[in-house]
Amino acid sequence: MIRFCSMAALLLFSSTMWSQGAIRGVIADAQTGETLIGANVVIKDPYVGAMADIDGNFSLEGLAPGTYEVVGSFIGYTPLTETVTVNNDVVLVNFNLYAETFVIEEAAEVVAKVDRSRDVYMENIKKKSASSMDFISSQQIKQAGDSDAAGAIKRVPGVSTVGNFVFVRGLSDRYIKTTLNGAEVPSMNPRRNSIEMDLFPTALVDNLVIMKTQTANLPGDWAGAYISVETKDFPDEFTFNYSSTVGFNDQTTFQDVLGSNEGSTDWLGFDDGTRALPNAVAGVTADDWAYRQTTSFYDDLVYMGYGDQLQELGYEQGDIALNNIFQVFSQLDDNNGTLVDLSGADAWTTFLEEGRSAHNEQANQPLTQIGQSFSNTWEVQRRTAPLNWSHSLSLGNRTTLFGRPLGYIVGLQWGQNFNHYEGGEYGRYAGGSVAGDSLGLDRYYDDARTDATYKWNALINLSYKLNEFNKVSVMAMPNMSGTSSTRLQDGINPRDHDDFQRQITHRYEGRELNIFQLRGEHFLPASSTKIRWNASQAQGTLHTPDLRVFFNNYRVEDED
């Protein structure tokens, strides 16, 4: 009896399950055939709804047998209602929607524009693309809260960053090409092919597109990825955005870090001349440079006043060397004490101190003056690291010029970032001197380093519609950043000396990139042809006004 009841319950459950039907299909544009991602399909009674996926497919599951009024709708399209009868099966219904038309009795102007910042737009582009591509839209960037393109782009699958340089599928920046609105941007680093992505603030970026396979319409000088940074167009209404980010690093923030001499404009990303070459050096060519002079024994004796006596004795330049210098001393007369006496037992010491050293110092006075013209800023300075901070401001609006729409967007970003480590270990071992299972020690240091970076960038974009089918835009984008690095290494360097060695490195590197673009978009209705053109000028500069490396060998004496 128990077995009979269980079997009956199972048959009843199976009958109920298989008695449910489903409505499935595709919702698309009736004129273009393009699927409508995110379109809605709804049964009003009882209320059941579904949304079209990336392929335009929808599915209404778990429907009891009966007749339903099914409505397909999408923004900008006329809703379509289909009467569908469902039995114990799956019914296929496709919705082909037409763009909705509005009749306006009075004069009016209707303006529509594609929202390029949304995921739906980029998904459609990705779907129609003939190559493998990924993207991150402005909508995703806002949700993630990244302040620059370097932080945003690493959220794309297969993309990572080392510093601010992009790696795609393990391939370094050497194989990557970066463009801004389709125009190539030069690298500011001669050792790099791509640019650092932190130059682009996300507040002014519409989309980041990564093409992973080559097509005929793209440049051919890349192998890993083609990255396109697309900036924002002008808005339809007034917009104002301000954002601020704060970063805290427990290894750096509010810690005692390394530092160097600073200028008054370091916070603006450039040096005010504090680190510039002194006047004694600036503009000096290689031909005019003062090199170290080594005097001869003959010139040293002339410097001491023995020139006439040397001529009387028949000595000329090159005749006096270490093997006969003492014989020459014995032939010289101090002229009753008016000259330095070189006849005693201390003649050699006296000659070195009163003659050779003093003469060499005088001969190398120009080189000494050059060395003394540099500021004495070799030692490491200490300071407290502040919070990592950035501010971003953008505003835009549209107005009219000569009766036609003129849009503008202006953005500005500033930030500071400090990185520090201490207690590091730096070791180098000579591979050619293997003793047993160990390598020969080349050098070993305790290592500490601090990098302080200030940067700012801006964007000004003006777009003017000549008419409904023609638009021109002009954009200017200056970028500037400066990084001050201080490194302290303390340890041993057996190749140089048996003593301990301290190495201090100060480096300041400034980057500047100015981009100017003139773009146009034109549509020819007669042939349904769209023309896009772009004229771009980009100039990048990398300069290092300060690079100082100081070595100091020292000994630690025993307390005994």
* Domain identity same for 440 and 397: yes
Q: What's the token pair of residue 38?
A: 């995110």
* Residue 112 pLDDT: 54
CB atoms within 10 A of CB 377: 15
Tell me how far apart the alpha carbons of residues 408 and 474 are, in angstroms, rounded to a whole number: 10
Tell me how far apart the alpha carbons of residues 126 and 211 are, in angstroms, rounded to a whole number: 10
* Domain identity same for 547 and 418: yes
- Position 410 pLDDT exceeds 50: yes
Residue 66 belongs to a domain: yes
Partner residues linked to 382 by β-bridges: 258
* Residue 168 pLDDT: 85
* Residue 106 pLDDT: 61
Please give the model's pTM, rounded to 2 decimal places. 0.67
- The single residue listed with the structure tokens 């002009």 is 474
* Domain identity same for 336 and 413: no
Tell me the torsion sign for CA atoms 248, 249, 255, 256.
negative
How many angstroms from the chain centroid is the CA of residue 183? 18
* Domain identity same for 314 and 274: no
Kindly give, in sequence order, each residue whose CB lies less than 8 Å from that of residue 477, ignoring residues fewer than 6 positions away.
Answer: 180, 231, 457, 458, 459, 460, 514, 515, 516, 517
Tell me the torsion sign for CA atoms 28, 32, 34, 38.
negative
203 neighbors 243 (Cβ within 8 angstroms): yes
The mean pLDDT value for 337-350 works out to 90
* Domain identity same for 204 and 240: no
* Domain identity same for 421 and 443: yes
468 neighbors 403 (Cβ within 8 angstroms): no
* Domain identity same for 402 and 494: yes
- Position 356 pLDDT exceeds 90: yes
Structure confidence by residue, pLDDT tens digits, 278-305: 888 888 888 888 888 889 999 999 999 9
The mean pLDDT value for 55-83 works out to 90
Structure confidence by residue, pLDDT tens digits, 361-395: 999 998 888 888 888 778 899 999 999 998 888 88
* Residue 301 pLDDT: 95
Lowest-confidence pick of 80-94, 143-157, 412-426, 541-555: 143-157
For residue 80, the enclosing domain spans 17-97
* Domain identity same for 129 and 273: no
* Domain identity same for 161 and 60: no
Tell me how far apart the alpha carbons of residues 65 and 84 are, in angstroms, rounded to a whole number: 11
Structure confidence by residue, pLDDT tens digits, 417-440: 999 999 999 998 876 554 556 677
Q: What's the token pair of residue 443?
A: 């050098």
- Position 454 pLDDT exceeds 80: yes
- The secondary structure of residue 273, as a DSSP letter, is S
* Domain identity same for 268 and 384: yes
- Position 117 pLDDT exceeds 70: no
Residue 130 belongs to a domain: yes
Tell me how far apart the alpha carbons of residues 323 and 497 are, in angstroms, rounded to a whole number: 32
The mean pLDDT value for 431-458 works out to 81
- Position 70 pLDDT exceeds 80: yes
The mean pLDDT value for 72-86 works out to 92
Q: Are strands 438-467 and 470-492 parallel, antiparallel or unpaired?
A: antiparallel
* Residue 355 pLDDT: 93
* Domain identity same for 288 and 302: no
* Residue 9 pLDDT: 39
* Residue 375 pLDDT: 80
* Residue 47 pLDDT: 87
Q: What's the token pair of residue 304?
A: 């001491």
Residue 207 belongs to a domain: yes
Kindly give, in sequence order, each residue whose CB lies less than 8 Å from that of residue 11, ignoring residues fewer than 6 positions away.
Answer: none
Residue 447 belongs to a domain: yes
Instruction: Transcribe 204-220 into DSSP letters.
Output: GEEEEEEE-S--TTS-S
Tell me how far apart the alpha carbons of residues 406 and 250 are, in angstroms, rounded to a whole number: 48
Structure confidence by residue, pLDDT tens digits, 31-42: 877 888 889 999
334 neighbors 341 (Cβ within 8 angstroms): yes
Which of 199, 232, 265 marks a domain boundary?
A: 232
1 pLDDT band, cuts 50/70/90, is very low
* Domain identity same for 462 and 400: yes
Q: The domain spanning residue 179 has which CATH number?
A: 2.170.130.10
